[in-house]
Structure 1
């Protein structure tokens, strides 16, 4: 029997349901124009592509060298690389910000679900040097892996400690405290270094986590304070660590070899894995590591798991034990990146060309004295090229045929002064003369009011018409062309272009061209499933990931959406699913295009849902989500009146009361109240995927 007190609440939830419906009532299809700037004078065909990358500082010197060298020979392409650390590079990849990403640390098995269809492309090989600042000492000190771990654990804290002095006979070491230096940022160099320490020290392996962040708590604590400086200081990036070592006497830290050499630093020689020799990091001793590894191990494919690939502690008399690949992370399907959709296939082609150049021609520069990296062996290049050549950019939007009627006279100008099309459309202009005089339609790319040779049909290299023939009749003349953005023989780029009459420059209008599609990626707050930034519901930490592709012609969208849950206490993966959704529409809400849907996961003890809000503003969009217990309680594929009624039936109860239901307590706060009703009402009539 229904509780009468609950019946009193029916007006409340009916009102909320009405509000929910109002939020999602289909509105009129509206165009969502973006503001573009006119092409500057003197640049009629600016078909220039800029590729943006970010990530590891370990390979930054050689990536920046490659960028400049490649652009010098490919003047239509610029490459901008930001050295922000591997952790920041991985996060940028997860958030789909940029075109390519760099990390010294391969993605872990646990991280991989956050990066669907991503490629690992080893682009170079380097080693980590142990550098120090000891006045008067310029030789390569002997160091063992166990000793290095003891120094960073604070167990060896003096430079003249017997553990150091005994393996460096003939060197007078100072009675000074050791100031250790480590990275302050999330770093692939730290990942390689701590992985090495874990292989050399049982204490480190059992108590200090290996990863891109520096471990802040280990058995044995952190090095103690010493006067006048703390015995542990930090630096941002390899450059920051190098600077910290150079500016602090008696300091000791880890940097990529190139930074040690180019900064004139003193660094140690490390005992090899065979325990038979002290080995200085050089191009040759680092190359021995990759040679020995690749001769005994088959490399994974680009889309496979690279987390077990390690060149640490490779055998050989003259093999340096702290060597590693560093990786470019690139999505195999590039239409998931917003930056790619602006220039369509031109951006993809530029990236593929650059990457192929990097792993082939670019390798010859690796061992320059200013770089000090190791060229990739042929076997690694083959794996890389297979990955690079598998990269695609898929256009899901279908071109249409658009027809416009335009008449013109010298006194009144064009009858229509604004044309909007999408790249790849077939455009037909029905052109007629009102005053019986001759006229000609053309696109004035540099907006100089002059019918330039590369704007008319005498352009011998142009495969697409840009100008009509002369017409003077009131009977319409048919002029058909296909505008393609980033095509030097068509339209230089998306945006606003001026069309004119070649016989009367004052007769002009605006020709606006949009891209065919854009990507709206989910933006995870962190690149780790176990991060405290990931939303938690009950015992599950829930991450929703994917990239939605919006057909700009129809403003219908879809894509692959993944939901990954881990146990919030143990961090173990509890569920993972990916669905391909399609046919979702935007509606106009509060002046903005918006779409809502939910994604349900069969978590325990209660099913949960990611409640997703997608917004579109011009050529940019956002996909955000909150988590709750599932809003599709009836499992009917949509949030509907049954779900509202279910919450209403249990309304007013709290945890422990007979009529309390955890299913209806969608925000899991222990009470079923107006907040639960409002959340269900907000997503009322919206689709649910389970």
Structure 2
């Protein structure tokens, strides 16, 4: 898997791409002698952030990989002496490495499970795990149909479930044609492709299918694909490679990785909505917090069956997981500095740039809660 280092990613190609994103920040850009406050504005730094130096490591969700590259490459604006690495091993692998003490933070597309929250008390020296929704992105249903002349193929949740169940096997099936009047669909076998590794993207996708398919999806939401004998790919890159390499294939991935593949417009109410950062943000803002959320665990219960106009309910919230208590003051200082940058207006603008990850920036109200949780981090 990729091991992304700030010194490497600051190279010419990525720097050129990120320059456009940072220019868009305008007066909101954070100078080196400043740090973002709860609204993302620049203020005088706290001593802990100005002292950030050394290195920290993270691991986890491959959905965050592009955004992490952008955050790491531009981190010097607030912490020039801090080096951050991130290994995109998947959500499950990231949680395992974090709980074993192998990394200081993790990225996960699914909240921590009950047993993981219990394990976090030991890993965090009697403290607890923070779960911060810092990466919000639509999940694209991607397909490889180069001969189809349509901006998007329309699909309801029920139709998608039947395709991934194997109940609908051909692209010119009458059920697909009924939702795509005027589109010439090929007489071509459908090849559903899923993730082979435990994946938060899979958990979000199957959660959507369970909620929005009118009972067509009979499996529980899970990070492990529930059907055996399927075509699959390891990680986001592996799935995209598999879909790209097989005409007729269909899969699901963080929208930042859709590339030149076709993408599905989801049925919401009586309309079909293609993915966008704005459509993803609408769902997050309209969704309640999870029943067990706290002021440090800002977990959102996504409304997958919304009928709100312009909303895209197949959304992934990828959480940054950290400890409320670290063994050393150096780790506490460095994690706070990095996560405060990620949460800042500048950090969220970097990630939302179309040539980086195209994610949806968090709202000012959510940023206030996130920064309060980050600033509670301490050492034993």
In the superposition, the TM-score normalised over structure 2's length comes to 0.79
Report 1:499-510 matches (<5 A).
Answer: none
- Seen in structure 2, the aligned counterparts of structure 1 residues 90 and 302 have a Cα distance that, compared at 3 Å, is farther
Deviations 1:377-412 (A, max 9, x none): 112112211211111112xxxxxxxxxxxxxxxxxx
Counterpart residue number, 1:107: 112
SS of aligned partner of 1:268: strand
The one of 129, 135, 138 aligned to 1:127: 138
Counterpart residue number, 2:148: 137
8 Å Cα contact 1:276/1:317 also seen in 2: no
CA distance in 2, matches of 1:215, 1:297: 24
The one of 318, 322, 336 aligned to 1:326: 318
CA distance in 1, matches of 2:341, 2:235: 26
- Seen in structure 2, the aligned counterparts of structure 1 residues 278 and 159 have a Cα distance that, compared at 3 Å, is same
Alignment of 1:389 onto 2:356: no
Alignment of 1:240 onto 2:243: no
Report 1:605-684 matches (<5 A).
Answer: none
- Seen in structure 2, the aligned counterparts of structure 1 residues 351 and 304 have a Cα distance that, compared at 3 Å, is closer
Alignment of 1:190 onto 2:176: no
8 Å Cα contact 1:289/1:315 also seen in 2: no
Q: CA deviation at 1:355?
A: 0.7
The one of 247, 269, 275 aligned to 1:249: 247
Number of corresponding residues: 320
CA distance in 2, matches of 1:166, 1:244: 28
Deviations 1:181-235 (A, max 9, x none): 1101111100100000111236565x42322111135xxxx6xxxxxxxxx3111
CA distance in 1, matches of 2:302, 2:186: 36
CA distance in 2, matches of 1:138, 1:245: 18
- Seen in structure 2, the aligned counterparts of structure 1 residues 190 and 358 have a Cα distance that, compared at 3 Å, is same
Deviations 1:628-658 (A, max 9, x none): xxxxxxxxxxxxxxxxxxxxxxxxxxxxxxx
CA distance in 2, matches of 1:305, 1:382: 11
CA distance in 1, matches of 2:70, 2:303: 25
Counterpart residue number, 1:89: 94
CA distance in 1, matches of 2:221, 2:96: 18
CA distance in 1, matches of 2:172, 2:181: 11
Q: CA deviation at 1:329?
A: 0.8
Higher relative contact order (CA 8 A, sep 6+): 2
Counterpart residue number, 1:563: none
SS of aligned partner of 1:366: helix
CA distance in 2, matches of 1:280, 1:305: 27
CA RMSD of aligned residues (A): 2.1
Q: Give ranges in structure 1 of 5+ residues lacking alignment.
A: 1-46, 223-231, 336-343, 395-690
Alignment of 1:300 onto 2:293: yes
Larger radius of gyration: 1
CA distance in 2, matches of 1:321, 1:350: 35
Counterpart residue number, 1:281: 275
Report 1:54-69 matches (<5 A).
Answer: 54-69=59-74
Report 1:369-384 matches (<5 A).
Answer: 369-370=354-355, 371-384=357-370
CA distance in 1, matches of 2:175, 2:343: 43
Q: CA deviation at 1:176?
A: 1.2
Q: Flag the structure with higher helix content.
A: 2
Deviations 1:90-148 (A, max 9, x none): 11122121110010100133542222211101112101111101121142000110011
Deviations 1:530-583 (A, max 9, x none): xxxxxxxxxxxxxxxxxxxxxxxxxxxxxxxxxxxxxxxxxxxxxxxxxxxxxx
Q: CA deviation at 1:241?
A: 1.1
8 Å Cα contact 1:51/1:347 also seen in 2: yes
CA distance in 1, matches of 2:115, 2:104: 23
SS of aligned partner of 2:130: strand
8 Å Cα contact 1:120/1:302 also seen in 2: no
CA distance in 2, matches of 1:109, 1:57: 23
Counterpart residue number, 1:210: 221
Q: Flag the structure with higher strand content.
A: 1
Counterpart residue number, 1:646: none
Deviates more, 1:187-196 or 1:358-367: 358-367
Counterpart residue number, 1:433: none
CA distance in 2, matches of 1:168, 1:233: 26
